[in-house]
Amino acid sequence: MSWKELPKAELHLHLEGAAPPEFIRSLAKQKKVDIGRIFDERGNYAYADFAEFLKVYEAATSVLTTPEDYARLTRVVLEQCAEHGVIYAETFLSPDFCGGGDVKAWWEYCAAIAEVAEEAETDLGITLKGIITCIRHFGPEKAKAPALCAAESAGDFITGFGMAGAETVGKPGDYAWAFDCAREAGLRLTCHAGEWGGPEMVRATLDQLEGIERIGHGVAAYHDGALMERLARDGVTLEVCPGSNIALGVFSQWENHPIEKLRENGIAVTVSTDDPPFFHTTMTREYEKLDEVFGWDEGDFRALNEDAMAAAFCDEATREDILKRLKA
């Protein structure tokens, strides 16, 4: 069995960030919107650093303006995921981009995405769940609307809440209202931290936001032995995206990535693509590089996917079904 064919679970995938550049270019052309500046001469997304990446990401997202746009995007993304063996995925969705934070508008976007997800489960064999995110660099006040949207739409499809964006903006506790709102609605919680903010940001996130079960990225934890012990002891899962980290310069090369050290310290890690076309990666490529650089074999990857499903924000029936398929 090739790594492409191996069944996989992916927990850290931004829906807009997974939009192929050709999809965004086509949509921009249809709407007569000029965003040519965000592409290089080969047609790929063009950015120099993380700050510019965020600007390019938001410019690309600006042409996704209707529920129908998001439905089309969801289908394209799920087809690509399924092509690389993904049978369970969780995707980050932001009502800031889907209806401007208005609850009524968000329902229309959410329904369109969920309908495509249901169809894909039948004809592509992939299960999708949604995690609503607020955008950290939009500020604490702007985080309240996505949290209210999350609380209103919590259910079978929307199962979690988190925070993405520039983690160096503000303190995690500044966003406590949004996380409390989502948690009280029964949603499970994750938060980006420890990509750029250092181990202290991971610790602050766990200390200041109640109920965090997973950390998006979290790779800076490897600098802090006590923090690694805490993550392992408390069962906090890290949503690690190695290819993303290399592309953005968090680490200079795969050989320097700490994913193996984090595993060796008893921390549950998962592997995801984050924003795959931006980072020229796929789940197959992530697995190939982990095999090439760290010698991971089929047993390692099966354990990795079992850890992902243990941490997945889904109901128990879905978890059991996916676990059976991962072991088949």
pLDDT tens per residue across span 275-308:
999 999 999 999 999 999 999 999 999 999 999 9
Three-state SS at 95: coil
Residue 2 belongs to a domain:
no
Q: Which residues contact 325 (CB under 8 A, 6 or more apart)?
A: 7, 87
d(CA 258, CA 148): 36
State the residue range of the domain holding 98. Answer: 8-327
pLDDT tens digit sequence for 21-80: 999 999 999 999 999 899 999 999 999 999 999 999 999 999 999 999 999 999 999 999
Confidence at residue 39, expressed as pLDDT on a 0 to 100 scale: 96
Cβ(7)–Cβ(328) below 8 Å: yes
| Beta pairing partners, 158 | 130, 154
Active site residues per annotation: 195
Residue 3 belongs to a domain:
no
Could you tell me the strand order of the sheet in which 188-193 lies? 8-14, 86-93, 127-135, 158-164, 188-193, 212-217, 237-240, 269-271
Cβ(12)–Cβ(216) below 8 Å: yes
Residue 102 belongs to a domain:
yes
Residue 132 belongs to a domain:
yes
Residue 1 belongs to a domain:
no
Find tokens 């290819």 and name the residue: 243
Find tokens 């089309």 and name the residue: 72
Confidence at residue 1, expressed as pLDDT on a 0 to 100 scale: 63
Confidence at residue 175, expressed as pLDDT on a 0 to 100 scale: 98
Q: What is the mean pLDDT of residues 233-258?
A: 97
Confidence at residue 170, expressed as pLDDT on a 0 to 100 scale: 95
Cβ(149)–Cβ(118) below 8 Å: no
- Residue 160 pLDDT greater than 70, yes or no: yes
pLDDT over 70, % of the chain? 100
**Of the candidates 250, 254, 190, which has an alpha carbon nearest to the alpha carbon of residue 220?**
250
Residue 191 belongs to a domain:
yes
Q: What is the mean pLDDT of residues 83-94?
A: 98
d(CA 178, CA 186): 13
d(CA 195, CA 218): 6
Amino acid at 11: L
d(CA 145, CA 152): 11
d(CA 130, CA 96): 15
Both tokens of 218, joined, read: 């979290």
Residue 98 belongs to a domain:
yes
- Residue 189 pLDDT greater than 80, yes or no: yes
Q: What is the mean pLDDT of residues 237-256?
A: 97
Residue 305 belongs to a domain:
yes
Cβ(216)–Cβ(239) below 8 Å: yes
Q: How confident is the model at residue 259 (pLDDT cuts 50, 70, 90)?
A: very high
d(CA 131, CA 108): 16
Confidence at residue 328, expressed as pLDDT on a 0 to 100 scale: 80
Whole-angstrom CA distances from 6 to 121, 141, 302 are 18, 43, 9
Both tokens of 307, joined, read: 């850890």
Cβ(263)–Cβ(219) below 8 Å: no
Q: How many CA atoms lie within 13 A of 58 on its CB side?
A: 13
Q: How many domains does the chain have?
A: 1
d(CA 56, CA 307): 33
Interhelix angle 103-123/140-153, nearest 10 degrees: 50
Cβ(213)–Cβ(160) below 8 Å: no
pLDDT tens digit sequence for 101-137: 899 999 999 999 999 999 999 999 999 999 999 999 9
Both tokens of 112, joined, read: 């369109």
d(CA 37, CA 238): 34
Q: What is the mean pLDDT of residues 239-262?
A: 97
Q: What is the mean pLDDT of residues 9-15?
A: 98
Both tokens of 222, joined, read: 């490897």
CATH of the domain at 269: 3.20.20.140
